[in-house]
Structures are given as C-alpha cells and as structure tokens.
Amino acid sequence: MTIRTETRGRGALYRLLAWLSPSFPTGAFSYSHGLEAAAAARSVHDRATLESWIAAVVTRGSGRIDADILREAYRAAAAGDLEALDTISRRGSAFRATAELALESRQQGDAFLKTCRSAWPDPVLQKWAASENGVCHSAVFGAAAAFGGIALEDALLGYLQAFAANLMSAGLRLGLIGQTDGQRILAALESVIADAAQAALSRDPADFGSATFALDLASMAHETQYSRLFRS
C-alpha cells in the first residue's frame, strides 16, 4: 500500500488540525498524566517547574515513547502491514509504568479510533481496528495519519504539541499558572517539541524507552490520592 497522494495538502492539514483539536472527543481533558500528584506534593508549583516537567515528559518520558510508536505505526500503515500495526500498538500499551498511564493511552486510543472510524472512515483502518482489543493512542493516531496522507513530520510535531498543550491545560486547571503563563510555556517549548519530533524521525528503534522516574512515582501516588480532579 502507498499513502494516497490526493489527500495531501489542505485536506491532510485539515484532518491533522481536527484530530488534534481539544474538541476531538478523546477525553484528553480528564487526564493529568501524573501532574496532579506532583502538584499536590509541590514538586510542580509554578510556571518554571511546570515548563520543566512538560519538557521532561516530551523528551524523556511518555512523549518520547509515543513519538517512536507513532513513527513505527505510520510506517507500518503506509506499507499496509496490519500484523505489524498490532504488534506496535501492543508494545505502546505495554511500555507504561503505571496502571493509570496505561489506561490513559488505551482509553484515548479507543476513543480516537471510534470517532475517526465514524467521521473519517478508511477501509484499511476499519479492517485493522476489527482485530484490535484496546489500542495505543499514538499507534492509532500514527496509522490514521498515514491513511489520511498527513506527512510523518507534521504528525509527530502536531501530536507532541497537543500532548504538551494538554499538560499545560491541566496545570492551568490545577491553579499552578494563569492563561498567559500557559501560553508563555508553550512558546518556550516550541524548539523543544520541534527537536523532539525531529529526533524521532531518525532515532534507532533499539533506543526505545523512557527515563522519567519522578513522573512514574507521581502517577503511582495518584492512583491512591484521596481527592483528585483527573483520572491520571
């Protein structure tokens, strides 16, 4: 299979913007990715610490894992290799340090796939989805991006920016920052996210993994946190 060239250009950009919009019903707003526990412990308490936290997640944590999974799923989808897609999705689900982080990825993936199949049906994506019980969000996004004619570079950059923006939004709702500081964080992270997306294009698959132990511990603490706003 080859990516359909007629969907490139404005149509591909339109899909990318729609799929990464906060209005796309993946439920991302209900997850903090361990940030709520870090805020409760005062490990993250202001603009500077939130910016550092998000940068670490994107470059060395789940963002790095998601970027690699997205890249491999995109290439498998472009080649029409549904068996490889299954393997990549399972790998993306397995490499989550805690139950909540795994639930976050799986539930967002299932929600994305259900909505995408309904609004932007693709025969190959429909066929792959039929054999998959719970999908990794970054894997199904990468596959959909390939089927939709979205360039891999754009898919990676867009996905990581949306991931960072959702963490910033969680910090905003937790009262760590105001709206203007939230935009300052996203502006400061522009080069960080661009570099992370570029690195994923050429990273050796053997370098797969993450190293954000503070986030993992925060996520574990969040599982038993007494009062909370978010699901992770």
74 lies in some domain: yes
3-state secondary structure of 175: coil
178 lies in some domain: yes
68 lies in some domain: yes
Q: 214: exposed, middle or buried (C-beta count within 10 Å: 0-12, 13-18, 19+)?
A: middle
Whole-number average pLDDT of the chain: 91
User: Which tens digits make up the pLDDT trace of 172-195?
Assistant: 999 999 999 999 999 999 999 999
Q: DSSP per residue over 144-173, as a string? A: HHHHTT--HHHHHHHHHHHHHHHHHHHHHH
CATH code (residue 117)? 1.10.4190.10
Judged against a pLDDT cut of 80, whether residue 129 lies above it is answered with no
Range of the structural domain that residue 167 is part of = 50-222
Predicted pLDDT at 89:
93
CA–CA distance, 204 with 186 (Å, rounded to integer)? 28
Number of domains in the chain: 1
Look at the chain and count its residues: 232
Judged against a pLDDT cut of 80, whether residue 232 lies above it is answered with yes
Which of 11-15, 47-51, 90-94 reaches the highest mean pLDDT? 47-51
40 lies in some domain: no
User: Which tens digits make up the pLDDT trace of 65-120?
Assistant: 999 999 999 999 999 888 899 899 999 999 998 999 999 999 999 999 999 989 98
75 lies in some domain: yes
3 lies in some domain: no
3-state secondary structure of 192: helix
Residue 146 tokens read as 């390939």
10 lies in some domain: no
Asked if 85 contacts 76 with a C-beta cutoff of 8 angstroms, the reply is: yes
232 lies in some domain: no
